[in-house]
Amino acid sequence: MLLRDAHPDDFPAILALNEASVAVLSPLTPERLAHLHGQAAYHRVLEADGAVRAFLLALREGADYDSPNYRWFVARYPRFLYVDRVVVAGAGRAQGAGSTLYRDLFAFAADAGVPAITCEYDIEPPNPASARFHARFGFREVGRQAVVGCRKQVSLQAVEIGRDGAVA
């Protein structure tokens, strides 16, 4: 698989991947994706056989983003990289695509001197696959909050990293 920066030509594939996983993500319109892409510190895709199979979009503090989860981290962390979404096509799950993206993200954060990577995942309704995945990378719960009109509850997660990209 080829890991590369995302570009606007990838947006149809990114939107399709997001829609296929919308039960555990927030919906994404073409306009919102274009805005997030412009705000992103990290937006990369994994490509195989000429098709986008996975993507990860992350923002730094100070981004123009109205997500209540992102705002939660802004209020508590002076410097961080927030994983807004990571999506892997069904066929690529359990094949290492998510781990490849996260290893690259950790290296990116270390190179940029970012001391923490943050994210959230649903705990109501539960997303046990995401919980297991993030635990493997050293994430720990730093808070919880209800979102989407209290229809969802998320676990707010963070991992501190060293200059070498390893969990601190």
The reply to whether CATH 3.90.1170.50 applies to domain 2-160 is no
pLDDT digits (tens, 9 = 90+) for 4-19: 999 999 999 999 999 9
pLDDT digits (tens, 9 = 90+) for 35-84: 999 999 999 999 999 999 999 999 999 999 999 999 999 999 999 999 99
Helix or strand (DSSP H, E) at 85: strand 81-88
Longest dimension (CA), the chain: 42
- Whole-angstrom distance, CA of residue 118 vs CA of residue 69: 10
At residue 94, the pLDDT reads 60
Both structure tokens of 78 = 């002076």
* Residue 114 reports pLDDT greater than 80: yes
* Residue 91 reports pLDDT greater than 90: no
At residue 93, the pLDDT reads 63
Helix or strand (DSSP H, E) at 122: strand 116-124
- What predicted TM-score, i.e. pTM, was given to this entire model? 0.93
DSSP 23: G
Radius of gyration of the chain (CA): 15
* Residue 92 reports pLDDT greater than 80: no
* Residue 152 reports pLDDT greater than 60: yes
- Determine what percent of the chain is predicted with pLDDT higher than 70: 96
At residue 17, the pLDDT reads 96
